[in-house]
Structure 1
Amino acid sequence: MRKLPMVLLATAALPMAVNAANTEFSFGGFIKMDAMLSTYSDGDIAPANIGRDFYVPSTIPVGGQDEGADLDYSAKSTRLNMKTVTTLEDGETVTGFIEMDFLSSPGGTEVVSNSYNPRLRHAFFKYDGLTAGQTWTTFMNTGALPETVDFLGPSESSVFVRQTQFRYTMGDFDLAIENPETTVDGAVSDDGMLPDFVARYNIKSGNSNFAVAALVRQLSYEDAVNNVDSTTAMGFGINVSGKIMIGGDDLKLSLTSGTGVGRYVGLGAVTDANLVNGDLKASKTTAAFIAYRHHWTSKLRSTAMYSMLTADYDSAAPTTSTTDISSVRVNLMYNPVEPITYGVEYSMATREIDNGANGDMSRLQVSAKYSF
């Protein structure tokens, strides 16, 4: 991040400078260009689909008759953020953070302008152990995510959710109440009356780190239009993840297992529950990845990884539900100078649904990124 003196801020906006005399502002982010050549065994992905921007497992076509192929260029993952640190009279600090990018948002077409609306990623502040606002779910360990050219990489097995929450940190313990959302038969039900409860214990040993997180949530569904009474079920999940240093290399891994945790893992590839005879039947999910990064030189490195997800549903659930996804990928990352990273990555993925239909995807992706 780049820090701006208060004199410059005062020149641009005097009232803000007066009200924030004890606040330090930092700005950061990156500019990233991606080019992807994708092939599909059983169909194609529509031009506006988010699966054309990065790997979203549930978008892999299955059961089609024809092969598909796409070539995509994009700078939508470009990111901007601002951090503030306000020093109080007692010496304590309040930290604020806001970040946006341009993925998963509407805007101009690729025909002329390629204009895309910004979207909110993070908006939170921290004070005296409390974090309030929108940021990564406490169920997620960002330190275990491997380095990839793709936006996320092992998407099917990664816990990956940003949402509004209250989190309290006590040393190595994190306790949080977070926004509840339930996916039922693939649709979102916004009827939850209890927050999702998360507890996480963080373990550090030298440059290695681990985290053990537990999730308890109430699944809820009501459909007044179709005369479906309110019904609930309980969801439980656990995630164990971390990074192990092996000399100058690192091994990253994650294991998630639970009932009714579908939206927390795999970018929503698995629905939280199915509605069966008026009752919610929670799905069961197990997902894991392992990734090894090797440094060839001080400027050149590679990561190889394997990722998988399996899901089980009630026997009366729709037969189009995703049951198995797996992927492998390998990349090469190069830093000619510190702020610039060039990357190339090849990945293969397979998706299968409950009726046995399946499909494959192969993708070659290159990127150029300037961080500031």
Structure 2
Amino acid sequence: MQSNKLRMAIRSTAAVAILGVAAQANAISFETGGYQTDIYGYGRLNASYDIDSNQALSTRSGSYDGLVNNDDAADGHFGADAFQSRIGLKTVTPEGVTVNVEGDFRGGGGGSLRLRHAYGEYNGVLMGQTWSNFTSFVGNTSTLDFDSLPGLAGYQGRVAQARYTTGPLSFSLEDPQNSLLDPTGASTDTKDGLPAITARLQDSQGGLSYSAAILAHQVGYDTGTEDESSMGFATFGALKMALSDMITIQGTLSYTDGANSFLYRSGDNFGAASAYVDPASGDVETISGYGGSVGAGFNLGGGRSINVGYGMVEVDWDDAEDDGVAVGDQSESNSAVMANYQWTPVKNVMMGVEYQFLKRENVSGDDGDASRLLFAAQYNF
């Protein structure tokens, strides 16, 4: 009995950690001609007050861009939008084929429809766009910030892919997400010669849920006369444990070498450069990085919860500096601390407030930080 309670607690907190995913149980469901169809989504207001410099992106998420040397920046910025709102349709055919199409309104800087998911799946074979297989929500702490903490497990985004899942194992070939820093100009001819290859294990045992994955991809360029590339890889682990029916703890660890595109929030906002072109030799040299997050959730009962979390990433630019590449304005470390209170006054309605503290330090040693307050109200259907 206790094992079942722990498992249910873990699953429920994992669902809250990906608050942006509308629960299928809340969907509008109907059956026509043997097709089981769900229409689901939510309307959501996000509001932010930047106590220090204005760090708000669309959906009022916190940005690391412009955070350095912000002491003299204008402070006290308020903003609100509903761009995170979304709608989706999922249908299962009489033959057992699942088709899912979903969008939100964060496209084009906010307000335009953006494709999130568009895929079909049958007998464990998935084709289309959905969450990268090099992603896990198991170790995520629930945040109101749509983009959440640095150092979460994997890409934390959606890509076009072909995936096969059998039990707790899944394998995929995915659209590559390369980024090449190049002082010679060759990066204008960046070439994706291979898909990204991933493998992931995700399962639960008793009171513990866990996930681990590995990714390999090629990063390089081809000018027509010069063709250089290197292989990069990334790996992560994620855990969540229910200490009781009221308390969960969770965390993630990540390491990359030549695949910082998949090191979450390691650059100005998301991935840092995965490699650089050596100005002397023209070789593609990989850049390594690491990150992690830790958090806890407290279920207070009556639809109320408190969540606290910390995340950080660090990128190693030493080799690039030694080779004469100008990287002083590149982010060496990003970190965030957050705490929030969430309340569900009635089924399918969530409201919450959150405090964030963001910090960034560049390779040059210049740094900056900012405090923010967030509010969210979400109505699911």
Query: Could you say whether these structures have the same fold, taking a TM-score greater than 0.5 normalized by the shorter chain as the test?
Result: yes
Paired residue for 1:243? 240
- Equivalent positions of 1:50-89 (< 5 A) are 50=57, 53-57=60-64, 59-64=65-70, 66-69=72-75, 70-88=77-95
List per-residue Cα deviations over 1:71-110 (Å, max 9, x = no partner): 111110001111010122xxxx111111111114256xxx
1:166 partnered with 2:159: no
Among 41, 47, 52, which residue is 1:35 paired with? 47
Q: Displacement, 1:348?
A: 0.2
Q: Displacement, 1:190?
A: 5.4
Work out whether residues 258 and 286 of structure 2, in 8 Å CA contact, stay in contact via their aligned partners in 1.
Answer: yes
TM-score of the superposition, structure 1-length normalised?
0.85
Q: RMSD across aligned C-alpha pairs, in angstroms? A: 2.1
Q: Residues of 1 paired with 2:334 and 2:274: CA distance?
A: 16
Q: Residues of 2 paired with 1:32 and 1:198: CA distance?
A: 33
Q: Displacement, 1:189?
A: 6.7
Among 135, 149, 152, which residue is 2:147 paired with? 152
Paired residue for 2:272? 270
* Amino acid aligned to 1:202: Q
Paired residue for 2:112? 117
Structure 2, unpaired ranges of 5+: 1-26
Paired residue for 1:184? 180
Q: Residues of 1 paired with 2:165 and 2:118: CA distance?
A: 18
Work out whether residues 215 and 233 of structure 2, in 8 Å CA contact, stay in contact via their aligned partners in 1.
Answer: yes
Where 1:270 maps in the other structure, the secondary structure is coil
Where 2:369 maps in the other structure, the secondary structure is strand
Work out whether residues 248 and 297 of structure 2, in 8 Å CA contact, stay in contact via their aligned partners in 1.
Answer: yes
Consecutive aligned runs of 4 or more in structure 1 exceeding 6 Å deviation? 186-189
In the comparison of the two structures, how many residue pairs are matched?
337
Among 15, 19, 29, which residue is 1:3 paired with? 29
Q: Residues of 2 paired with 1:142 and 1:44: CA distance?
A: 28
Where 2:51 maps in the other structure, the secondary structure is strand
Q: Percent identity?
A: 24
Among 133, 139, 145, which residue is 1:138 paired with? 133
TM-score of the superposition, structure 2-length normalised?
0.83
Paired residue for 2:204? 204
* Amino acid aligned to 1:300: R
Q: Displacement, 1:25?
A: 1.2
Work out whether residues 156 and 269 of structure 1, in 8 Å CA contact, stay in contact via their aligned partners in 2.
Answer: no
* Amino acid aligned to 2:82: A
Among 356, 362, 366, which residue is 1:357 paired with? 366
Among 118, 127, 130, which residue is 2:122 paired with? 127
Q: Displacement, 1:140?
A: 0.6
Q: Displacement, 1:65?
A: 5.7
* Amino acid aligned to 2:218: Q
List per-residue Cα deviations over 1:47-77 (Å, max 9, x = no partner): xx736731233x2421346123321111100
Paired residue for 1:113? none
Q: Residues of 1 paired with 2:192 and 2:349: CA distance?
A: 44
Q: Residues of 2 paired with 1:152 and 1:121: CA distance?
A: 14
Work out whether residues 254 and 290 of structure 1, in 8 Å CA contact, stay in contact via their aligned partners in 2.
Answer: yes
Work out whether residues 182 and 188 of structure 1, in 8 Å CA contact, stay in contact via their aligned partners in 2.
Answer: no
Which moved further from structure 2: 202-211 or 297-306?
202-211
Q: Displacement, 1:238?
A: 1.0
Would the alpha carbon gap of residues 258 and 189 (structure 1) be closer, same or farther in structure 2, given more than 3 Å must change? Answer: farther
Which moved further from structure 2: 200-209 or 181-190?
181-190
Q: Residues of 2 paired with 1:146 and 1:44: CA distance?
A: 24
- Equivalent positions of 1:10-29 (< 5 A) are 21-29=33-41
Would the alpha carbon gap of residues 106 and 253 (structure 1) be closer, same or farther in structure 2, given more than 3 Å must change? Answer: closer
Q: Displacement, 1:280?
A: 1.7
Work out whether residues 350 and 379 of structure 2, in 8 Å CA contact, stay in contact via their aligned partners in 1.
Answer: yes
Paired residue for 1:194? 194
Q: Residues of 2 paired with 1:360 and 1:189: CA distance?
A: 36
Work out whether residues 181 and 188 of structure 1, in 8 Å CA contact, stay in contact via their aligned partners in 2.
Answer: no
Paired residue for 2:3? none
Q: Residues of 1 paired with 2:172 and 2:332: CA distance?
A: 30
Q: Residues of 1 paired with 2:59 and 2:148: CA distance?
A: 14
